[in-house]
Structure formats: structure tokens, C-alpha cells
Chains A and B, each alone.
Chain A
Amino acid sequence: MHLTSEEERILKGEEGYGRQKAMEILTVLGDIYGAERLIPISSAQIAGVSYTSLGDEGIEWLESLQDCRVTVPAMLNPASIDLENWREMGISYDYACKQLKIIDLYRQLGVKPVCSCTPYLVGLVPRFGEHIAWSESSAVCYANSVLGARTNREGGPSALASAIVGKTPEYGYHLDEQRRATILIDVNVKLETLSDYSAMGYWVGKIVSSGVPYFRGLKPRLNEELKALGAGLGTAGSIALYHVENVTPEYHRALNGQIEKLNFTDKDLREVYCDYFKPVDEPVDLVALGCPHMSLMEFEEAAKLLKNRRVKKGCKLWLFTSIAVKSLAEKCGFLDIIRRAGGEVYVDCCMALAPLRSLGVENVAVDSAKAAFYTHLLAHVNVFFGNIKSCIYAITEG
């Protein structure tokens, strides 16, 4: 990889240890992937936040970097606990201290302590064509596909290194030729709910695994539908970019020559609900919504469904979002309705990372295929997958 004289200087350590290590990470990645140079980025979104995954080693690594600062706007992935209301979640003091320490170290590096998988809903909004270095797989999909920004699926260390240097190696989805469609998906079923979009994303991700799907026959009404679609795609496979005909900004230059075609039918949709996962038809003790983090519109829908209903005794309803969307939902009056019904709203964190088992939770219903996959895998609980209405009605009475 070709380095400028300034980049060489950083690599030699003339601007300190932190910047040197960051530059080493970027040059090694560039060499592995055959990048020719580093290119400037406009923002970073950094994984490696939860204490469960980072551990004490991660804390030591962040401490070692304290002689430098990030040079572009940067936000964080969700943590494993609500950073303010962790006591209500049943989290131990010792665990919370470690988690808060991690957030504090990032803050000292200049990273904004906004922990969300939907940074594009809370002020980190790249423009069309801008290069960025983001980590969280659903946010990566949204930024690439819906906003037309350009990012690979960064790991925690590489996203942080990019934030410090302000650059990323030019390979993968930063290049035009890697953004062309590799498979055509003909959608032959009307998708009704966000969970339908999520289910289709999961199905395509599982079959295609990697590459760039191009959807035809899809008529999304809401950005939330595209957010759900991308989350599903990024979960079952390593998909980071998709196109929707007549909808997403790069669809018109995505098709180039003959590509393989798949049909998505009603039968496939039902297969995701009933065979990949289990439908919501058994008793559950927790409903968790907000994977990816809920938008204001999703709060409105939840509030509508919860009006004049009440969470049954022994059951819990948890809603996950960013701190900014929570305050807006409060202003709009949605939270009053949700709280009156017995729901609890948690911010800055991810349901799949919460220690559900130790909180006595065994059976969880979710409206997101991504949540169904990771909650089962990471929290070791039984998981049921259905639309938001079936989830809410499973634990409430009117």
C-alpha cells in the first residue's frame, strides 16, 4: 500500500503510540485486502463496547491509547446495560462499573458516548458517496444501501483505528465494482410488517451468505422497513449492501450483465417464522422490542397497540432504543402509554447482550429475526419470532 509522508510519519511513531498503533492496524488491513491507499472518512461507528465481549483486556487496550484522540465524529455500538438505569435491569454493581469505565475511556478518546445500532437516527448521517468506517452490521447495511455512503463491515479495533487516523484502506465496498448486484431477488409476496422485512432479510442472508442482493417488486413505505431488512441480511450472512429497484439511491447502476435470480414467495416467508424460528404461540415471560433500536415511529406503533392493555403478572415488556429517541418518545406522550401498560424502556444497550438468564427469563418473544438469532445464541433463552402485535398480545391483556 502506498503511504503519504504524513502517514509514514505516524507509522514511525512520531505522533505518539496511539496514532502509531492505529496506523499499523490500517496498513496491515490494507495489505491483507490489497488496498492501494488510505482514503479519508467522514465518520466512524465503533464496536467493542460491551464488557461481556471486551473483557479486561479490552479495557487495557483502550487505556493504552490515551495519548491520542479521534479526528472524525465517532459513536459507539450498544453496550450490554442501560448506562443510567442498569439497577432496574438487575445488573450487579461490579459489572456496571466495568461497563461504565469502558464508556468513559472512549469518551476520553473523543468518541461520543452515544451507544446505538441506529446512529443514522441520532445525528450521524453520512451523505451519498461519503466514505465511512462503521461496525454494527445493520447500521453498515443502512448506510451503504439506503444512504449510499460507503463502508466495509469494520471490526472494533479497525473502526477505532480509522476514527483516530481519520482514514480507512480503500478496498471492498469503497470501490464502485464491489457495489454491483450479485443476485436478483424477485419478491412475489406483499410484506405487511417490519418483521416480514426482517424475515425476508434473514432468508436471503442465509441463502446468499455474501454478495450484493438486488430486490425487485419491493415497495417499502417506511425507512424502518429498510432498517429491518438490512438487519436481517447482515445477521444470517455477511451482507453489507443491497439495492431495491426504484427505491435505493444506487439501484440504477447496480445491474451489470447476467446474474443469478431467486424468488421470494409466501411459502419462504412462512418458512422463516415457522421453521427457522418458532412462532409466538407458547407462553412467554419477556417481550423484547427494538432490534435494531426503535425509531420514534415504532414507539408510536407500540403505544397504539398498548393503549388500554396491561402486561400480565409475571411477564415483562422491554423496549430498546437510543437515548435521543427515548426523549422524543417521552415528549410525544408515547412513553406514558407504554409505562402505564407496564412496559420498560432501556437505552444505550442491546437485548441480546443483556444477562437474561440470570434475571430469570426463559422464554422471549421478539419481532426481529436478528434478535431471534442473537438472543438465542448469546443469552441462551428460548426465542419466539412474530410481528409486533403478536408479541405484545402474548404478554398483555386488555
Chain B
Amino acid sequence: MRTIIKCRRISGGYGEGYALVSPEPISFFGQIDRATGVVCDEKHPLYGESIAGKVLVFHSGRGSTVGSYVIYGLAKRGKAPSAMICMEAEPIVAVGAVIAGIPMVDRPEKNVFRNGVFVKVYADRGLVEVLD
């Protein structure tokens, strides 16, 4: 099944990959290993998972504004998500996506994202395609 969902463009570009859905907000500074893109905070529900190459779906970012630079560094090392979908964008992740050149949208009209579904993010057009 193919579902098209309208979103708001945050950072332009196209990205695709398998969805990794976080039930909790993410602080890139502190909760993501800067070198590998693996969630390194034992208290986070995604502990041990790699965000590299995934379409990362989460409510929003939190924590230090340094998180933006962590996202930039992950992209430089090829360990960043291929796209990000937030329920509600906030400056840390949004600015991180912009400086890293990662496609990002927020406010999806429907939330049908589950771990492992294939997602295409057309950020410029503010559209997401979910293949289930």
C-alpha cells in the first residue's frame, strides 16, 4: 500500500530509507554517538539502534543547541539519517538539518509511521510517501 502524506518543508532535498520511529524526543548532543550514529543513551528507547541511512521519525529534538553541530558531523561521516520527519520541528534539529543538508519535514497530516516501513521524503514539495 502506498500512502502520500502532506507535511511542511523544513530543509529541502530528497531522501529515502526504512523508517526508524522514536517514541521519545532526541537530544543529538549526548544521546547519539558522534562517530557512529548509534543511540548511546541507555535510557532512550532506541538504545543501540543506528540512525545512519534511516528515515528518522520523532516528535522533536531537545537539549543543547550543540546538537545541531552533532547532526552536521554525522552527515560529514556518512552516519546521518537519510531524511528526518518531526511531528513538530524545533530549532536544534531544524538548524542541524539545514547545515548538514539533510532533507527534513514536520507536521505530517497523518502519523502512519512504523519501524521498518519504507519512506520517501520529498522535502522540497513537503510530501512523504510511505510504502507498506
Task: Write the residues of chain A forming the contact surface with B, with a CB cutoff of 8 angstroms.
Answer: 21, 24-25, 28-29, 31-32, 47-48, 53-58, 60-61, 155-158
Q: How many A-B residue pairs have CB under 8 A?
A: 71
B68 to chain A, nearest CB (A): 5
- Known contacts A28-B11, A48-B65, A55-B34; is-contact A157 B70 (Cβ 8 Å): no
- A25 x B99 contact (CB < 8 A): yes
Chain B positions 63-80 with a Cβ under 8 Å from a chain A Cβ: 64-66, 68-70, 72-74, 76
Q: Which of B29, B64, B94 contacts A29 (CB 8 A)?
A: B94
- Would you call the interface of chain B mostly helix, strand, loop, or mixed? helix
| Contact with A48, one of B66, B91, B94 (Cβ below 8 angstroms) | B66
Distance in angstroms from B75 CB to nearest chain A CB is 9
Instruction: Check B39 for interface membership: any CB of A closer than 8 A.
Output: no
Question: B70 to nearest A CB, angstroms?
Answer: 6
| A54 and B99 contacting across the interface, CB-CB below 8 Å | no
Within 8 A of A (CB), among B12-57: 29, 34
- A47 partner residues in chain B, CB cutoff 8 A: 65
Contact pick for A155, options B70, B74, B91, CB 8 Å: B91
Kindly state whether residue B92 has any CB partner on chain A within 8 Å.
yes
Chain B 74-91 interface 0/1 with A at a Cβ cutoff of 8 Å (1 = within): 101000000000000111
List 15 A–B pairs whose Cβ atoms lie within 8 Å, in order of A's numbering. A21-B98, A25-B95, A29-B95, A48-B66, A55-B34, A55-B70, A57-B70, A60-B72, A61-B69, A155-B65, A156-B66, A157-B65, A157-B68, A157-B69, A158-B95
Residue among A29, A53, A56 making CB contact with B66, cutoff 8 Å? A53
Closest B residue to A24 by beta carbon equals B98
Chain A residues contacting B70 (CB-CB under 8 Å) are 55, 57
A155 neighbours in B (Cβ, 8 Å): 65, 68, 91-92, 95
Distance (Å) between the CB of B58 and the closest chain A CB? 16
Number of interface residues of B (CB under 8 A): 23
Contact A28 B94 (CB under 8 A): yes
Assess the B64–A53 pair: CB atoms within 8 A: yes
Q: Is B76 within 8 A of A57, CB to CB?
A: yes
Q: Which of A25, A55, A57 contacts B98 (CB 8 A)?
A: A25
Among all A-B residue pairs, the 7 with the closest Cβ atoms: A57-B73, A155-B65, A58-B69, A53-B66, A57-B69, A157-B95, A24-B98
A57-B76, A58-B66, A155-B65 given. 10 additional CB < 8 A pairs?
A: A28-B98, A32-B89, A53-B66, A55-B69, A57-B70, A57-B72, A58-B69, A157-B68, A157-B95, A157-B99
Residue of A nearest to B10 (CB): A28
- A57's nearest neighbour on chain B, judged by CB, is B73
Query: Taking CB as reference atom, which chain A residue is nearest B94?
Result: A28
Closest to B104 in A: A28
In the assembled complex, the Cα of A99 lies from the Cα of B22 at a distance in Å of: 34
- Kindly state the separation between the CA atoms of A272 and B8 in the bound complex, as whole angstroms: 44
Contacts A48-B66, A55-B34, A155-B65 given: A61-B95 contact, CB under 8 Å?
Answer: no
Cα–Cα distance between A53 and B34 once the two chains are bound (Å)? 12
Closest to B29 in A: A53
Contact of A61 among B34, B89, B99 (CB under 8 A): B99
Query: Are B65 and A32 within 8 A (Cβ)?
Result: no
